[in-house]
């Protein structure tokens, strides 16, 4: 090798080193991915004088991120899937000259930890001796690997940040949701209220409550908001506050429901709705009145009524104003009863055969356990649904909310 060749080789190495240093500096500056692709484009074109190049990168799908010198616009051409199996640098030999990828001579796969990140399609060097082609090809592979691993790391870091933000959002939403539930529920010889809550990893919008109206009346309620996360939790939090305020202001059940519907629609802009069930029991006058707003009908048992479902009411809240209809259900002359309500996370639990747990199973367990203490009733239902779903994950939160009233002694 003569002195001129040594000099050329030295200058080429210096050029490659400077290109790597420039890209390293760009990566350290935490430039966006688009800027890194532009620097890659400039470096390849300015320093190596390639005739043609197309860089395909695997994101959600394969996309051409850098393209120059070609007759075809490869940003609009999907990658030929035959090339996805390329394991090493190789020549492109296509029998069909009309295939757009016949413009290129070589393909260089770029991988990291056995994961294919990109494909570099290229054609010839300008005015460079053939003996120097391999050297520059190796540099293209090194340069491509260097910048694409950096971009991949940026993607992973961004994904980690998104996951952390989601984790914090779920934590906030979970805390908001926990604040909705009453801290204590009465349980004595005359009245016992009991609740079970099985949280799912995704925050739902389940809510239950016991509201003492006066010495003779109390309200029990259960609700579920559509959607997940902080927006759903905040909507339900506003709903709870509104319900408690309205219950103190008026005993007109229909007025409370209509106002709740208006407030829900106003707060959610029609993007979420709430299924809602509420009942008021007057112990002195011995009546139980209720409204079911699109919620799964609770079960009710008393010696005088037998087993019934509570369906009278209206549509879900937060969709239509005014409500198209509103019926108040009323059961009279009852001194003792058992009431069981639940959210659809219970009935819509699936087993490995894609079958739903369903309301019939809940009703059967309730019928068989109606004389049991409420905690044992809940335990029976939870045991059955856990056996039913087996290795499947629960898709939603499950809430059970029940009430037993005994005759005055």
Pairing of strands 50-58, 62-68: antiparallel
User: What is the average pLDDT across 378-405?
Assistant: 89
Q: pLDDT at position 20, please?
A: 65
Owner of token pair 């199973």: 361
**CA 289/CA 213 separation, integer angstroms:** 14
Q: Tokens for 212, please give them.
A: 């003492």
Answering whether pTM is above 0.85, one says no
Q: Tokens for 390, please give them.
A: 């087996």
Decide: 65 and 74 in contact? Cβ < 8 Å. Answer: no
Would you put residue 292 in left (φ > 0), alpha (ψ -120 to 50) or beta?
Answer: beta
Which residues are bridge partners to 122 per DSSP?
53, 106
Q: Tokens for 89, please give them.
A: 């640098």
- 3-state class percentages of the chain: helix first, strand second, coil last, to nearest 5: 45, 25, 30
Terminal alpha carbon distance of the chain: 112
| Residue 255, H or E segment | helix 253-268
Decide: 12 and 3 in contact? Cβ < 8 Å. Answer: no
The 10s digit of each residue's pLDDT in 63-97 is 999 999 999 999 999 998 889 988 888 888 887 88
Question: Does residue 7 have a pLDDT over 60?
Answer: no
Confidence grade of residue 409 (pLDDT, cut at 50, 70, 90): low
Question: Does residue 186 have a pLDDT over 90?
Answer: yes
At CA 369, angle to CA 366 and CA 375, rounded to 5? 95
At CA 406, angle to CA 401 and CA 409, rounded to 5? 155
Coil vs helix vs strand at 91: strand
Confidence grade of residue 17 (pLDDT, cut at 50, 70, 90): low
User: Considering Cα of 345, then 347, then 349, then 354, what sign does the dihedral take?
Assistant: negative
**CA 285/CA 217 separation, integer angstroms:** 9
Rg, the chain, Cα only: 34
Determine which of 50-64, 207-221, 285-299 has the lowest per-residue pLDDT on average. 50-64
Domains of the chain: residue spans and CATH: 3-160 (3.30.450.40), 181-405 (3.60.40.10)
User: What is the average pLDDT across 352-368?
Assistant: 94
Cis ω before 217 (30° cut-off from 0): no
**CA 107/CA 28 separation, integer angstroms:** 29
Determine which of 112-121, 167-176, 311-320, 365-374 has the lowest per-residue pLDDT on average. 167-176
């Amino acid at each position: 090798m003569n002195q001129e060749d040594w000099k050329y080789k030295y200058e080429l190495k210096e050029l490659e080193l400077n290109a790597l240093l420039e890209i390293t500096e760009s990566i350290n500056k935490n430039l966006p991915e688009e800027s890194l692709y532009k620097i890659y484009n400039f470096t390849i074109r300015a320093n190596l004088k390639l005739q043609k190049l197309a860089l395909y990168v695997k994101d959600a799908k394969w996309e051409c991120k850098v393209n120059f010198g070609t007759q075809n616009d490869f940003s609009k051409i999907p990658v030929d899937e035959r090339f996805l199996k390329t394991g090493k640098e190789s020549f492109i030999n296509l029998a069909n000259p009309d295939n757009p990828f016949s413009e290129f001579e070589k393909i260089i796969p770029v991988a990291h930890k056995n994961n294919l990140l990109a494909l570099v399609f290229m054609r010839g060097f300008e005015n460079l001796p053939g003996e120097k082609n391999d050297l520059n090809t190796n540099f293209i592979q090194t340069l491509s690997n260097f910048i694409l691993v950096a971009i991949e790391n940026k993607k992973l870091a961004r994904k980690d940040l998104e996951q952390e933000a989601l984790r914090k959002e779920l934590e906030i939403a979970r805390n908001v949701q926990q604040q909705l539930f009453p801290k204590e529920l009465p349980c004595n010889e005359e009245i016992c209220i009991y609740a079970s809550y099985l949280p799912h990893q995704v925050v739902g919008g389940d809510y239950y409550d016991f509201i003492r109206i006066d010495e003779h009346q109390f309200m029990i309620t259960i609700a579920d908001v559509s959607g997940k996360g902080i927006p759903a939790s905040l909507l339900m939090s506003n709903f709870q506050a509104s319900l408690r305020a309205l219950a103190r202001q008026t005993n007109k059940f229909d007025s409370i429901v209509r106002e709740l519907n208006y407030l829900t629609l106003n707060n959610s802009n029609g993007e979420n709705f709430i299924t809602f069930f509420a009942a008021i029991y007057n112990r002195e006058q011995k009546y139980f009145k209720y409204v079911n707003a699109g919620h799964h009908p609770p079960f009710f048992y008393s010696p005088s009524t037998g087993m019934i479902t509570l369906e009278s009411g209206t549509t879900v809240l937060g969709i239509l104003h005014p409500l198209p209809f509103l019926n108040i259900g009323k059961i009279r002359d009852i001194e003792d009863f058992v009431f069981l309500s639940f959210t659809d996370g219970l009935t819509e639990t699936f087993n490995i055969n894609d079958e739903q747990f369903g309301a019939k199973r809940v009703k059967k367990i309730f019928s068989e356990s109606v004389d049991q203490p409420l905690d044992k009733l809940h335990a029976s239902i939870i045991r059955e649904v856990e056996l039913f779903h087996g290795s499947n994950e629960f898709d939603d939160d499950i809430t059970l909310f029940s009430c037993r009233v005994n005759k005055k002694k």
